[in-house]
Chains A and B, each alone.
Chain A
Amino acid sequence: MDSMNFDLATTPLRDLNRFLHQEAEAQGIKHVTVLHPDGAHNIAVGLNAPVAVDIEGHAGYYAAGMLKHGEVTIHGNAGTGVAENMMSGKVHVKGFASVSAGASAHGGLLVVDGDTSLRCGISLKGGDIVVGGSVGSFSGFMAQAGRMVICGNAGDALGDSLYEAVIYVRGTIKSLGADARIEEMTESDYQAVGELLAAAGYSYDPHEFKRVASAKSLYHWNADANQEY
């Protein structure tokens, strides 16, 4: 038997996480189902084993936070900071995600079928985020590396203070953040978007997307540039 169920209505969260950290791989468990999450926080944080975790319901804050190895699917909505600081692996949110989705992720793939709230991909450090719906304001804020694909619309201040991360948007952009600008899509952009959409399971046409990247004018302090500090 390579699956297990954990019912958070009767089992402490600590037991679930400890099992995932210390026992799952050794016991050859490949699949864990979490029942009655009911908005609990920190479900499957620090997962570091080749396990597929299915969360049957809505998760609270930091679901799948600091994921390094494994795959987490949330059959519902996710609270603040889903997949925050993810290193690799995959997180899929079927519903919507709250603020700071994928914050500071270094790698891996976060997919959100619904909308995300503000600050999606804040401080992104190399991970990939694909959002089926729209993203709130300040998404991609200070995003340093990685890619974001937004199939819906983007709110205010998209990519404010952007570094090397690239954001692709299919819908409208309410406003761009400081130092963010729209650039021409190249063949490699279309290819990247195509790959990411396929990985997320969406079938949009990459040619419908715009590229948002950093103008790199904030990289050095410069008195004459009237920069906002």
Chain B
Amino acid sequence: MQNFEYVAARSVDGAIQLSTSESRFLAGGIDLLGEMKEYITSPKRIIDIKLIPGLDQIDTSTSIWKLGANVTITEIAKNKQILTALPGLAEAASEVGSPQIRNVATLGGNLAQHSRCWYYRHRDLRCLKRGGSTCYARDGENKYHSLFSGNPCISPVVSNLAVILAALNARVNVRRGDKEIALTIGELFSDAWNNPLAHNSLLPGDLIADVEIPTQKTRSTYLQVSEKGAFDWALVSCAAAGRKTGDQLADVSVFLGAVAPIPFRVESPLLERGDLSTEAIESIAESVASKATPMAHNGYKVPIAQALIRRALARIVS
């Protein structure tokens, strides 16, 4: 790593005040320190936000739960209320990394984390996303890369929590300077769809304060397939959530992870109608194939996505 100044902020205002064009916020550190050790980023100042009071709370007092940005992944995975009311969120959290990572990684950090593309992360390369001129993955080793993208960079989103929070219609509250802006998960990632340089829509100096999660969708699940049995990035992930009304499910949404720079919404009139018969589920899963533009080595993600969609929907239906 390059050397830097270190300061621990004691309030959100303080953190914003301390930030410069060459500073980064430090939460769990897994993503940031990893990038710094490869010299992908070399901030001159690190602002530790872990000591800011109030950012580590899980507030379930109303029907819209509020999780502070500093809540750890372990806390999310083990929280009894989350396990009952938002099982998909607990499932997604329990698949993040390893216990050692979950103990320090935070909700805010997981959402804001940077690309894991091996060209982006290579210390001796400067790919398109890092300001170079080439997306090496397009013509290269792209087995882990996006099936869908709106721009020449095909690095996919890897945040497990982003995928389930998208399905749960969560809102992310971000401090930008003096203002607080509320972003849907889609808005949080939209820049990454259009702009090869972007990992998400956050601007330098933005600080995620908390995430609000409505609890109306009483059925939710998260699934992923990896190469290893644990502690491995998802090849494809899928989150589904819906609201039980009688013996129907309404407001069902399905998102895929690791197939696009954003959590990818699976769109289908059947979903909108709430038609989740076995045939409908089959058809919803099939529909994903038509929009995908596989690269040379990642076409296998299509059948996996389809299988996960089927399984996730079957799970929330039953």
Q: Do A and B come from one complex?
A: no
Chain A residues with a Cβ under 8 A of chain B: none
